[in-house]
């Protein structure tokens, strides 16, 4: 099989190209089918980037609409979107790498690494954080009205230090927890001796050639080819790019493009980054999901599981994203969008079924 960069280049010359004029040019039946499904994202509106991988080969690689409505900047396959909760799979991978290094154990009590947490967290382990079974109180529900600054992961820890209670005994139930993934970044820092963004850069992004992907920190890093979030307000698209929780990295602060995510998807096929055992843990049903979450039978480490599918959505102010992997058919669909609506999961399934029929 050709290296991924060669495949991308081949796709650029023989199928959808990366120049603006080619973004809406239907050059293959697969691309034409996706173009029809993405009509509402094209033109002078907040757009989307779509990648379809079949057996690791990009068969559709497209950009639609605008990355910045005010500036008129078009979306291309290189455009970087804030991934929101799609970021969680990278947080989980960071923990799994440290476990492979022998720097921590997944059954470590969280208070071994974060001793400032209250006694109520005594029985919470790293595994519980990864699988959303910790019972931790949702930090978003504790934010004061009119908060005029952005929180960081360390602020989430400070908030949870003052909550000597849990929703339930650790490991007894599933409850999706953004705060748990913020705490995982603090464990990465404590176990590695590196800042979290630096750890991701040196241990995941650089080794995989994901050169434009970044855990974004305002005033510290920049996002090349950046998409800005938008919401439809009073009949017009307006920029709504940041909220008080947008700077929390562990649960949603990574920016990436479909081109870089193609490299990430390739790394999930073999042991170039994570061992077979670590990838098996990430995609194993670590806990059943009995609550009302559509198409979620179980949760792994940073991945939702439904039948043979592995997927995760990401929703934050001005962005809606999804990655859906179907290993049984060797298909992956990624949709990144810089608009507040609609969630693209159902769209990704339609693309999956259209390409994989």
340 vs 145 pLDDT, higher one: 340
Q: Which helix (H) or strand (E) holds 236?
A: strand 236-239
pLDDT value, residue 145: 83
Q: What is the pLDDT of residues 203-225, one digit of tens each?
A: 999 999 999 999 999 999 999 99
Q: What is the pLDDT of residues 91-113, one digit of tens each?
A: 999 999 999 999 999 999 999 99
Model pLDDT for residues 308-333, shown as the tens digit of each residue:
999 999 999 999 999 999 999 999 99
Encoding tokens for residue 138?
């949702």
Arithmetic mean of pLDDT, 224-244? 95
- Sequence-distant (≥ 6) Cβ neighbours of residue 205 within 8 angstroms: 211, 213, 214, 260
Calculate the alpha carbon distances from 18 to 22, 250, 272, 343 in Å: 7, 31, 27, 25
Q: In sequence order, what E strands does 55-197 have?
A: 57-64, 66-68, 73-74, 81-82
Is residue 236 pLDDT above 80, yes or no? yes
* Average predicted confidence (pLDDT) for the chain: 92
The helix or strand, by DSSP H or E, that contains position 353, with its residue range, turns out to be: helix 345-355
> How does pLDDT run across 343-352, given as a tens digit for each residue?
999 999 999 9
- pLDDT by residue (tens digit) across 51-68? 999 999 999 999 999 999
Q: Crossing angle of helices 4-14/258-267, nearest 10°? A: 140
CA neighbor of 335 nearest in space, from 266, 267, 257, 229: 257
């Amino acid at each position: 099989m050709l290296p991924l960069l060669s495949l991308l280049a081949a796709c650029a010359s023989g199928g959808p190209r990366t120049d603006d004029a080619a973004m809406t040019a239907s050059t293959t039946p697969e691309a034409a089918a996706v173009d029809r499904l993405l009509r509402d994202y094209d033109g002078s509106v907040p757009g989307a980037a779509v990648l379809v991988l079949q057996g690791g080969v990009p068969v559709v690689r497209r950009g639609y609409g605008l990355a910045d409505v005010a500036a008129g900047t078009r979306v291309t396959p290189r455009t970087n979107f804030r991934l929101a909760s799609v970021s969680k799979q990278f947080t989980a991978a960071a923990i799994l790498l440290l476990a492979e290094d022998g720097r921590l154990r997944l059954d470590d009590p969280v208070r071994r690494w974060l001793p400032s947490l209250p006694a109520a967290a005594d029985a919470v382990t790293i595994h519980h954080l990864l699988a959303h079974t910790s019972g931790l109180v949702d930090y978003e529900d504790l934010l004061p009205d009119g908060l005029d600054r952005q929180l960081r992961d360390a602020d989430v820890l400070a908030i949870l230090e003052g909550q000597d209670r849990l929703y339930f005994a650790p490991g007894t139930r599933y409850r999706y927890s953004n705060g748990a993934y913020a705490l995982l970044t603090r464990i990465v820092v404590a176990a590695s001796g590196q800042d979290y963004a630096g750890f991701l850069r040196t241990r995941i992004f650089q080794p995989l050639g994901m050169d434009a992907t970044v855990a974004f920190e305002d005033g510290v890093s920049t996002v090349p080819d950046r998409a800005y979030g938008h919401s439809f307000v009073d009949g017009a698209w307006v920029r709504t790019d940041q909220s008080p929780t947008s700077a929390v990295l562990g649960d949603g602060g990574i920016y990436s493009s479909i081109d870089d995510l193609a490299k990430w998807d390739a790394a999930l096929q073999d042991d170039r980054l994570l061992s077979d055992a670590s990838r098996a843990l990430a995609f194993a049903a670590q806990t059943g999901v009995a609550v009302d979450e559509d198409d979620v039978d179980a949760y792994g480490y940073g991945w939702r599981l439904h039948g043979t599918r592995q997927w995760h959505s990401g929703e934050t102010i001005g962005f809606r994203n999804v990655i859906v992997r179907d290993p049984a058919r060797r298909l992956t669909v990624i949709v990144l969008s810089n608009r507040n609506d609609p969630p693209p999961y159902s769209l990704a399934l339609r693309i999956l079924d259209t390409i994989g029929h």
